[in-house]
Structure 1
Amino acid sequence: MADDTHEGSKQTDGSRGNTPDEAALSARLGSLDRRLSKIGGSRNIGTDGSGDQQDAAQAKASAMAVGLRMSSELVAGVLGGAALGWGLDRLLSMSPWGLIVFALLGFTAGVINVMRAAGVMAKQSERL
């Protein structure tokens, strides 16, 4: 059935007809093409920052590396102090006190290391 409706509108000489509907459709198509070209051009300008995107990705990775370093320093300080305290507890038979004291000292050392690393990063960001 769909073929029957299209056959009636075909012309026998093969040229396009200039009916008002086709002219309006052609004008609308041209207008749409111009608007899409304008929008596409503005989008290319807005997203042509491949260098900016790469710099942002590197900055994010660098920030994650700094965070991982700081957290590992804190954990290493606590675990190192706790291990030293546990060893002293076993060696000197002073049950929980060596573990408690050295775990707190390890925590303090870890916090100082994190603060030192954060202070260095703050000084570097001020220079930039």
Structure 2
Amino acid sequence: MDEKRGSGGPDSPGNGDATDRDLSESLDARRKRLDAELLARRKVEQEAGSNREASKGYALAVKLSSEFIAGVVVGVILGYLFDRFLGTSPWGLIVFLLLGFCAGVLNVLRSTGAVAQPGSGGAGKTGTGGEDDGN
């Protein structure tokens, strides 16, 4: 009996090359489609991330500017009232405006973390247990 080569199942050499080639092309097509979809999703995620960062930056700017303006406004109001009741115009306004400006700058520095918060002035950070005080 003769064996029929090239007309058998998937193990036959005649059909194996064509099937492998078709599967390889199909796999390449799927891989390209997946790469395109992943690239599109990454672009969307990057745009969303940049929007979040921009909104965080905007929120921080509003917070810092409001803290600075609040210090100046409080200084002006106190200076005006001081001048109004004591008759020291314009010196109370000038002094309290400068104090309000300094308070506003200090509030901004505290919010950014450049200056320590009040009440945490190093107490508790350096313990005295076991340290030699030189006596």
Q: TM-score range by the shorter chain?
A: 0.5 to 0.7
**Residue 98 in structure 1 maps to residue 92 in structure 2:** yes
Show CA shifts across 1:70-117 (max 9, x none).
011111111110110000000000001100000000000000010111
- TM-score of the superposed pair, with normalisation by structure 1: 0.57
Distance 2:111 2:98 in 1: 20
Q: Does 1:115 align with 2:109?
A: yes
State how 1:7-46 maps to structure 2 within 5 Å: 44-46=37-39
- 1:83 is aligned to 2:77: yes
| Equivalences, count | 84
Amino acid at match of 2:69: V
Where does structure 2 lack aligned partners over 5 or more consecutive residues? 1-31, 115-135
TM-score, with structure 2 as normaliser: 0.54
Indicate which of 65, 75, 100 corresponds to 1:71: 65
Match of 1:52 in 2: 46
Q: Does the residue aligned with 1:48 lie in a helix, a strand or coil? A: helix
1:10-37: CA deviation from partner (whole Å, max 9, x where unpaired): xxxxxxxxxxxxxxxxxxxxxxxxxxxx
Q: Tell me, in whole angstroms, the C-alpha distance in 2 between the residues paired with 1:96 and 1:112.
A: 24
RMSD: 2.5
- For structure 1, list consecutive stretches of 5 or more residues without a partner in the other structure: 1-38, 121-128
Identity %: 39
Shift of 1:55: 2.3
Greater mean alpha carbon deviation, residues 100-109 or residues 52-61? 52-61
Structure scoring higher RCO (CA < 8 A, sep ≥ 6) equals 1
